[in-house]
Amino acid sequence: MFNAQTRFVLLTLALETVVTAWPWSKWFPLDPQVGDVAQVSADDLTDRIRGKTVLVVGGTDGIGRGCAIAMAQAGANVVIVGHSPQKAQAVWGNMSAAAAFPQVQKFKAYSVDLFTVKGGLSLTAQLNGNKTRFDYVILTVGMWPNQKEPLSSDGLDKVISLDVVSRYLVFREIVPLLNSGARVMSVLASGWRLIFYRDAKSITADRMKDIAEAKVEHHYSLPEMLGTAATLSDTWLQLMSKQHPEFGFIGTFPGVVATHLATHGTFPKWLDPLIEKSMKEVGLDPEFCGRLHATIISSPNAARRPATYFTVDQASRTLVKLEGRLTNSLVYDSDFGLWTQSFLEGTIANHTATADAVIV
């Protein structure tokens, strides 16, 4: 009745449903030093964030859009970056409408292709040219694996390009724009141990290196790619926390969020409507998720270690816990950290170029 690929996808979804019912099995351990982040009232959140300036990379859709609107509602100045000029313009309007103090808040939007090092450098050149200084940087740009067109023009898997390289590159290039005490948050899969049916700890360092360098092309499982991207992301945050102690670094897993990110080439086309419907049924609203991330990045918990990791553990669409966690042991391994930075710096060096970003 179903071909092998379809049966595999259905089995994967069924297993994830089972995993979700077993909260003890899907996370790395709690971090007692960091603890749980308390949710606060809208007024308290505004007291924390009012007057801050925030950069949201990936801010035109999904969680990033939710973060941008939440920051505007709390009184921040917000700069967003996305791929689509039309979406950038729309979110600029959303932020303006949501602004707590519209007479003084400032908003700006960029559209640029972050699949390539060239695109990332074109964005950061514009940011540095404008000299806007930032208190918070929120990195949400990313995608799920696309089995039909897996590679970017830089020759990397698109997941690695967006979820890892572009995020690191943006931070690296805008360090001069960050105020002392600035916080950098990468929203991906921190603390998520059991990814569908595969334990992230069972994906070896060598396998992750091969996936990052596109030595396996698209011949990897979905858990392997998600686990690799999450581990590399958490690793560069850990590295930068040592090299830049003047800033705070935060990784998060946002929970299941009602976006269409997973329906862009990951699963068979006919399954997309079912996945989207399921996400809407069980997933967090992106704007609610944005408020949760505004709460995390502005919380005292985020400063209890140089690099902290949090999970949004959801009992329902509205009942959640914001938990400080440890992450994959590879993240704390010095040799893996050295390789990760060498890979990132080598990738940037091999594709260094300049171009003009489009400003909305």
pLDDT on residue 16: 47
In terms of C-beta density within 10 A (0-12 exposed, 13-18 middle, 19 or more buried), how is residue 132 classed?
middle
In terms of C-beta density within 10 A (0-12 exposed, 13-18 middle, 19 or more buried), how is residue 44 classed?
middle
Please check the confidence at residue 356 and state whether its pLDDT lies above 70: no
Residue range 89-106: mean pLDDT, rounded = 96
In terms of C-beta density within 10 A (0-12 exposed, 13-18 middle, 19 or more buried), how is residue 69 classed?
buried
pLDDT on residue 15: 42
- Identify whether the C-beta of residue 216 lies closer than 8 Å to the C-beta of residue 156: no
* Any domain includes 164: yes
* Any domain includes 154: yes
CATH number for the domain harbouring residue 118: 3.40.50.720
pLDDT, tens only, 241-287 = 999 999 999 999 998 776 655 545 555 565 556 555 555 555 688 99
* Any domain includes 209: yes
Please check the confidence at residue 19 and state whether its pLDDT lies above 80: no
What is the total count of domains within the chain?
1
* Any domain includes 109: yes
Residue ranges making up the domain that contains 159: 27-355
pLDDT on residue 352: 85
Q: How many angstroms separate the Cα of 256 from the Cα of each of 50, 281, 315, 317, 319?
A: 28, 10, 11, 9, 13
* Any domain includes 170: yes
Angle (CA) 76-166-350 rounded to 5° is 145
pLDDT on residue 148: 81
pLDDT, tens only, 165-222 = 999 999 999 999 999 999 999 999 999 999 888 899 999 999 999 999 999 866 888 8
Antiparallel, parallel or unpaired: β 307-314 and 320-325: antiparallel
* Any domain includes 79: yes
